[in-house]
Amino acid sequence: MSWNLGELLAKYGVPGAQVAILAGGEIRDEAAGVLSLRTRVEATTDSVFKIGSITKIWTATLIQQLVDDGALDLDRPVRDYLPGFRLSDPAATETLTARQLLTHTGGIDGNHFIDCGRNDDAIERFVGTLAEADHLYPPGAVLSYSNSGYVVLGRLVEVLRGKPFHDVLRERLVTPLGLRTAATDPYEAILHRAAVGHMATVPTKDWAVSYYSAPSGSHFAISARELLEFVRLHLSDHTLAALREPQVEFVPDFGGGVTGWGLGWMLYRDGVVGHTGVSKGQKAFLRVTPSAGVAVAVLTNSTGGAPMAYEIFGAVLKDLAGVETTPLPVPPANPAGIDTGRMCGTYRSTLYDVTLSSEHDRSFLTYRARDGLAESMLGGAVKRVEVVRLDDSSVITAEPGNGDHEVFSLVGSDGHGRARYLHNGAAAYRISG
């Protein structure tokens, strides 16, 4: 390793982290810092960190195994496999496919939150609630990141394998790969040295949310080394290469360097693939260069882990794979004014109305909560953030939050000269009014 991990933790204010690198068929790993600023337990290479939405690649792998077994066709309607499956949009019920769910083009509301308990029927119960939830977009119409869509994929796994999702995950991937640090739920995690998330320097009080969201990334924890053992499977099994093939060519800029989407995998420049995971004060980062056989995992127990991870990616991928890492975005030194006629307006999700406005040569995004849940997540009924123009189709927060700046892309046309969608974190908010 060409850096001092402890020094990087201090530089970026991250309590603890693991880094693992796969190159030349060998994995090297390192850990530093503490798992919790409350307990001060040391982070070690066999500790487990939550990997958040990197879990989606594991779910996609279970889906591909079903395809390989002839049990699932990605382009047949989901309803053919799930008895009683129903969405609030009858046309979407008839046509939604697993491929669309894998690529976040299914149109299912990504902000559909409902408590379905902690029992083995939680995923089944959640999928049942989609019959009453808003269906945002026709399947295949627009990229809009959806955790809920991956829960439906998890239900496909359960029905076609006849077992709860976490049991299939263990039987089909964790056990065959010989992974010893993988924890599929909180009850397994407490048997390991488990990292606790931090909001800045304050440890979080909750480790995971309801079990229903396990297929999208709410529960899975593992060490960085064993995450790369899973990646090694993807580099050696030719049937899994299909998951890295481009499926969505146009991805609006949301600040992470993503240029396309595969089946589960995010696609980056120069043939790099990967994913980022965010969960309860922890952030996890994975980048893989299949052509060079190089992979890097950075697992952190902080909401501010991104700048550190990108510094590591920049060094490792250039040295070992000869590829450049797109840096995290920053505001221009002298930003031009936004295109008020095209960009300004109110964009709606199920949780928020987000208004982009220009006032006295300054621009602001104003979030207004649409219900009590949204207000609790927002920390109030209204939140206002200053933004500046990044380029012709995006704005960026003027000040960093959790160490990095947030990018919002404005794309499409509503037919009246205004952008049709505001993309934030790859989720699409539609122009309102």
Angle between helices 122-129 and 147-161 (to 10 degrees): 130
- Residue whose token pair is 């083995």: 120
Contacts of 183 (CB under 8 A, 6+ apart): 48, 189, 191, 192, 194, 219, 220, 221, 222
What single-letter DSSP state applies at residue 40? -
Distances (CA, A) of 205 to 13, 106, 199, 208, 306: 19, 33, 10, 9, 22
SS3 199: strand
Given the residues 2, 36, 47, 53, select the one marked as catalytic. Answer: 53
CA 250 to chain CA mean position, Å = 18
Alpha helices in 138-255 (DSSP H): 147-161, 165-169, 186-189, 224-236
8 A C-beta contact, residue 397 and residue 384: no
End-to-end CA gap in the chain: 54
* 413 belongs to the catalytic site: no
Backbone angles phi, psi at 6, to 5 degrees: -60, -40
Token readout for 146 is 């959806």
What residues form DSSP beta bridges with 347? 354, 431
For 71, phi then psi, to 5°, come to -90, -15
Structure-token pair, residue 243: 């998951």
Eight-state DSSP code of residue 422: E
Residues 166, 155 contacting (CB under 8 angstroms): no
408 closest CA partner among 334, 340, 351, 329? 329
Alpha helices in 356-408 (DSSP H): 372-378
Query: What is d(CA 45, CA 37) in angstroms, rounded to the nearest whole number?
Result: 18
Cα–Cα dist 35/39, whole Å: 8
The catalytic residue positions are: 53
